[in-house]
Each structure stands twice: as structure tokens, then as C-alpha cells.
Structure 1
Amino acid sequence: MTSSTPSRGAATWTLLSLAIGSFGIGMTEFVVMGLLPQISADLLPDLTAADPEAAIAQAGWLISLYALGVVVGAPTIAASVAKYPRHRVMLGLAAALTLFNALTFLMPSFELIAASRLLAGLPHGAYFGIGALVAADVLGPGSRAKGAAFVLTGLTLANVVGVPLGTFLGQQLGWRIAFAIVAGIFALATVLIGLFVPAHAGDPDRTLRAELRAFGMPQVWFAIGIGAIGFGGFFAAYSYIAPVVTDVAGAPEWAVPIVLVLMGLGMTIGNLVGGHLADIDLKRTLLGGFVLFIVVQALLALTAAWIVTLGVFVFALGAITSALSPTIQSRLMSVAGDNQSIAAALNHSALNIGNALGAFLGGLVIAHGFGFVAPMWVGLVLAVAGFALALVSYALQERRPAAVPA
């Protein structure tokens, strides 16, 4: 089922190839958030002229549609391809990501771009889920969370470099240039995966029906709920960070990429630390991370009017939530038994349900006139709900330990 252990040099190139693809995914998922004002002005000019806040809220649908694509694609694709060689699956997913992001660059109208964003989200979860299994195999036994974290490193680095750079170039040259860059990154990843990811067998005994048995496990649903509702809190705040920087904190437009860099730095550090801590003590990392998440989300909402504190708490929010991401993925893989392919991908379905939920609810309160800080308070409520679900999940596990695989 697994490939032989590669040399250190070969392993490095394998992991780098996967991480470049995840860099592209991080950029395509998050660059929209920094460019909502430009996208709404270009694609919804009449609504922008009449009601700029409503136009930005409608442009936020592009975030939700991408997330919906991830939610639909992650379990269906991962479960359908579990029996096929993983290196070939990764190659096909990278090629699909290249094509669909090129469509976002090329399509002329809001409706067609919305369709392209839905399509671009479909391969996202399967890429991360199957890539995490390949990375864990390369890193060796006892490295489940570290493998997931390594593949996610590209995504978090995208928030340090790719998203701020794409936002800046989009502000200067038009928002479409960001997606031309994204398509180029995925094309590079496709070539590198073809060259450097070694043959990696799937599991010929796994079928779509077998993988879908994971949905009959209550703890799998709890883990999905923890990720979806909890991370909805993060995305409610992050989706509308650009107008918070300019309209609430009163900073100039060029400050938006700087704030995005701070978010990305926090995400990169948190992802690496979270993967390490989760392999040591999964429960404490998950519950302690949510407590910190709730505290920082509240402080962010209370101090958003000051650009310095906004930057500090955006950094902290990125670090804490990214530490939780590989932790939740490891939890899902732990409770899913033999259904590892779909479990690894379901984490990204969960997080992108959160993406869609947070962006939708955040846009809803903005459209109803509550202002750009209101999504942060929505996010706080969602973070508390995610923490409560985690507590219930572990309480039930303690009552029925035999129902949860080790």
C-alpha cells in the first residue's frame, strides 16, 4: 500500500512538489479576501455605485462558492480515487487546479467567475487529504499530524508571500492578475509532481462504498462539526479583513497586504507548531487551542479600530487557528478507522464549510448595516460553539471509548 522509504533528497523533492501545489491552493483560496473591493467594483459596478457595502457582501459569495466546491469535492473525489495510485491522483488534481483557476482569470462576468470558483474548489480537499497521506508515508511512522502540517505549509506560506503579493498586484494591475499567477503556480506544481512524486500505491480494496462508511461514525460527524463551526469563526473575521483595515482602522489601502503578511506569518508558525503538539497530545492541543482562539477573537473585535492592535491580534488569530487545522485533521483520521483517504480529505470539507458559513454570516450582518466589525462578533459565537462541540465529543468518547479507534 505504501511506497518504499525514499532517500532524504528524494523525500525533500517529493514534499516540496506537494507544498508548491498547496501554496497555489492557499493563494487561490485567500487572495479573494484582500481583493473584494476591487472585484466588486469591476464585476458589480452598478451595485457598487449604489451601495458599496452590499456589493462587497455579494462579492463575498465567491468565497462561499469556492468553499462549497471544497465541501462537495473533498469526500466524493477522495473516496472515489482511494484505490488508485496516489501519485497519479495527485497529478490529475494539480492539472485540474491549473485549468479551473485559469478560467477564473479568463471568464468575463460575475456569474461565470462564480462558476469557475465553484469548480476550482472541487479538487482542493482531495489534494490536501491524499497529499497528507503521501507526506506521512515519506516522513515515517508516528508522523500523521506532521505529514498533514507539512503539506499545509505551502498554504500557510502562501498567506505570507502569495496572498499579500497577489493583493498588491491586484490593487495595482487589476484583480485578475492574481489568478493568472495562481494558474502558473499550479502548472509548475503539475510538472514537479509528475517528475518527483514517486509511485505510491493506493488501496485496491478500498471502494467508494467502503470509504463512505466513515459517515456512519458519530465521532466523525463531531470532528467535522468542530472544524466547520469553529473555523467559521475564523473565516467570518478573515473574509472581510480588507474593509476592516481601511474603513474601521482608517489605514491606507497599501496597509492591507501588510496585515495579510502578519496573518500569513502567524498561520505558518501555528501550522508547524500545531502539527508537532498534536502528535504529542491531541486532546490538549485541540481544547487549549480553542480557548486561545476565543480569547483572541474577542480581543480582535474590541480593538479593530486601532491598526497596531489589529495587526497584533490578526497575527495571533492566524497562529492559533492554523495550529488547530492539522490537529482537527489528525482527530478526524483517528476516529475514522480504516477510512483514511476520506478522513484526510474531510478535514478540508469541514474547514471550508466554515469558510462558506463564516463568509456568508459575515456578509449577512454587513449587508444589514451592522458594520465591518460585526463579522468578528459572529466569529466569536462560532468559535465558542466549536469549542462546545469538542468538549461534548471527548465526553462521549470517555463514556464509550471502544467506539473510537486509537
Structure 2
Amino acid sequence: MPFSLYLLALAVFAMGTSEFMLAGLVPDIAADLGVGIGATGLLTSAFAVGMIVGAPLMAAVARNWPARAGLLGFVILFLAAHIAGAVTGSFGVLVATRVVAAFANAGFLAVALTTAAGLVPPGHKGRALAVLLSGTALATVAGVPGGALLGAMLGWRATFWAVAVVCVPAALGVLAGIPGRMRGGGDLGGPDLRAELTPLRRPRLVVVMVLGALVNAATFGSFTFLAPLVTGPAGLGALWVPVALVLFGAGSFAGVTVAGRLSDDRPGAVVAVTGPLLCAGWFALAAFADRPVALLVLVFAQGALSFALGSTVIARVLYEAADAPTMAGAYATAALNIGAAVGPAVAALSLATGLGELGPVRVGGVLVAVALLLAARFRQVLGAGTEIPESEPANR
């Protein structure tokens, strides 16, 4: 894989850390800015909505820019939003900075996915995606726990500053490692925007986007409420929560790395193996939640299976939208973040039912089961990695 892919993954690491870090900072932010815990939760919602809206919007805005200029612009905007968030004393301004950061994150990821696909041979999109998503996996392993520790020691603002600092080498990496003009982008005379929106009428593309959203909804819904499971049914102390988060992140890194080597040539096999195991694993996690050792082992396994399945399905989005060279990344990013927004919301509703702390992981199992039924019905979309021929109509 080109070294420039790993430079892009560094920026994804910084942005993934920012996306997840609020889980451990909400109480401190609420106390410092004089707002309620519930209201502070709007910061998470603002980021999620910004990611969903920002992916297609920012990709459309940047489609006629050179890839390096777009990526660098989004990193700088993301950095500036975190500096503004670190110094503000207004909750309203902080919410606004989270929306801006989400737009920058979504735009960067959309362009980075398209750029990554252009940096590798046609049949290696899954591997390129795996490298990018390893940045997100490492954020859960090191970035989020590290941010929580830094926030506990120096205050929540220090975590915002740390994310801004990590953006500096990421920006330098974009300048040094990404060619000024990328083949296949809007800057080199790609199709017009209307033509690139046409693939959304194609059922195959819609199906893989829905599959990606369902799997990611299960992942983020369960991950978001992992702490109550650890301190509740498992009976472990609060110090075990970061241990569980690191195990999930380590598993996700392992899963996305292994799947990246298989998802281009054998995506159907990856789905057929990891899908049922992931579905059963969420229900097993609910069944053995009161057994700490089993819970921690399953947390690692579920992290690996979630990212292996999720990255494989999202790679199919890039293949199915191959005739939308500057918007394919936006479609993949939108699928990821619809799941990231819907999953925690549905999981939160389950907490208020008789399922209690076990609700989110059981919801995760149901969401994966729905994805598997859909995949079985449209299994032809999970064929080996192939590009759509240029002569083939976009609205087939």
C-alpha cells in the first residue's frame, strides 16, 4: 500500500478520536459551561448530524478541487474548529464548532476514500479502505482512552488542544504525500455532478449502503453503551471501562486489517463467515454479560467482527459507485454515519425497556440479523471486486 495512505489514516485517527472522545468528557463540559448533562449530549448529536449532511455536501463542494487542496482544507478547518472549541466559554459556540468539525471530518473522509481508491490498482479498494479505517480503529484503542485520561488530568479543553496538535502532522502529511492532481477526480474532467448522482438510482448501490448503515448502527449502538454493561451486569469497577474500550478497539484493528486482505476478492465469503458470528456474538454478549472474563473476550471478538464485516460492506459501496469518481467516497461516508447516528439512538431507547443495560447489544444482534437477511436476498451485490465498465449505463 502507498505510504500516503498511512498519512491519510493519521488524519482519520485524529478525527476519529474527536468523534468518540466526548463520551468521557460530557460531565466536565457540563460542569464547566453550566449546562445540564442532557443538553451536553447535544454535542454528540450535532456531530452526527453534521457528518451525515456534510459528507455529500462537502464532497460536492470539493469535487472540482485537486485532491490535495481539498484534503488540506478540511484538515485545517477541523483544526481551527477544535482551537475555537478549546477557548470558548459559550456552550452555543461549542455546539457550532462541533458541527463545523463534523462537516470538515465528513468532507475529508469522503475525499480521502475517493483519493485512496485512486492511489491503488482497481481491484484493491478494500485494502485501501482498511488502511483508512485502521485510523478509526486506533482512535478507539489509543485516542479515546488517551483523551479521557488527558481530560481527567488537565481538563476537557486539553483534549481539544491535543486533537488540534495531531492535525498538524496530518496536514503536513497531506502536503508531502498526496499528488497535486489526482486521476479520476473532478479536477481532471470527471463527469458532472448530475451524472455522479445518478448511481443513487441503482438498487445495488442503495442495498450496499443500507447494509453498511445497519452494520455500523449495531457497532456504534453497542459501543456507545458498553460502559453500563461493564459496570452493571459484569460488576466490574469503572477502571475496567477503558480496558473494555481498548479491547474493542484492538479487535477492530485486527478485524479491519484481516478483512482488508480478503474483501476485494472474496467479499461474499467474508460476509458469510463474519455476519452470522457477529449476530450471534451480540446475543452471546447479552447472555454472558454477568461473567467478566467471557464479556471481555467477547468485546474483543465483536470489535474484530464488526469492523471486518463493516469495512467489507463499505468497500462494496466504492465498487458499486465506481462511475461516480468524486462522490463515491461521500456515499460510503454517508452510509457509515447514518449508522453511527441511528444506532446509538435506537440503543438508547432499549435502555428504557425491561432489557436495561442488555438492550443495546441485543438491538445490535437484531440489526445485524436484518442486514444478513438483506444480504441473502441481494447476495449478487457481494460478488468479487469489479469495476463498472465505462460503457455501462449508470442507471442500470
Q: TM-score, normalised by structure 2?
A: 0.87
Higher mean alpha-carbon deviation, 30-39 vs 307-316, is at 30-39
Given residue 135 of structure 2, which amino acid in structure 1 is its aligned partner?
A: G
Structure 1 residues 101 and 249, CA gap change in structure 2 (3 angstroms): farther
Shift of 1:86: 0.8
| Counterpart Cα distance in 1 of 2:378 and 2:107 | 25
The match for 1:90 is 71
Given residue 75 of structure 2, which amino acid in structure 1 is its aligned partner?
A: A
2:365 is equivalent to residue 384 of structure 1: no
Residues 160-217 of structure 1, C-alpha deviation per residue, up to 9 Å, x if partnerless?
Answer: 2111111222233333322221121123311221233222333323332222112211
Identical-pair percentage = 32
| Counterpart Cα distance in 1 of 2:331 and 2:241 | 31
The runs of at least 4 aligned residues of structure 1 exceeding 6 Å deviation read 401-406
Unmatched runs of 5 consecutive residues or more in structure 1: 1-7, 49-54
Given residue 364 of structure 1, which amino acid in structure 2 is its aligned partner?
A: L
Residues 197-249 of structure 1, C-alpha deviation per residue, up to 9 Å, x if partnerless?
Answer: 22233332333222211221122211111111222111111112223323343
Residues 328-379 of structure 1, C-alpha deviation per residue, up to 9 Å, x if partnerless?
Answer: 2221122224113322222221121111111112223335675332222222
Q: 1:20 aligns with which of 10, 14, 23?
A: 10
| Counterpart Cα distance in 2 of 1:361 and 1:291 | 21
| Counterpart Cα distance in 2 of 1:397 and 1:273 | 18
| Counterpart Cα distance in 2 of 1:244 and 1:59 | 22
Shift of 1:141: 4.1
| Counterpart Cα distance in 2 of 1:36 and 1:313 | 27
The match for 2:136 is 155
Structure 1 residues 33 and 383, CA gap change in structure 2 (3 angstroms): farther
2:337 is equivalent to residue 352 of structure 1: yes
Q: 1:127 aligns with which of 108, 114, 131?
A: 108
SS in 2 for 1:198: coil
Shift of 1:143: 1.2
| Counterpart Cα distance in 2 of 1:35 and 1:287 | 38
Q: 2:218 aligns with which of 218, 233, 240?
A: 233
Structure 1 residues 171 and 301, CA gap change in structure 2 (3 angstroms): farther
2:321 is equivalent to residue 339 of structure 1: no
| Counterpart Cα distance in 2 of 1:39 and 1:240 | 19
Unmatched runs of 5 consecutive residues or more in structure 2: none
The match for 1:140 is 121
The match for 1:317 is 302
SS in 2 for 1:279: coil
| Counterpart Cα distance in 1 of 2:369 and 2:202 | 24
2:158 is equivalent to residue 177 of structure 1: yes
Structure 1 residues 295 and 100, CA gap change in structure 2 (3 angstroms): same
Higher mean alpha-carbon deviation, 281-290 vs 317-326, is at 281-290
Report the RMSD for the aligned CA atoms in angstroms.
2.8
Higher mean alpha-carbon deviation, 280-289 vs 65-74, is at 280-289
Answer yes or no: is the 8 Å Cα contact 1:332–1:347 preserved in 2.
Answer: yes
Shift of 1:317: 1.3
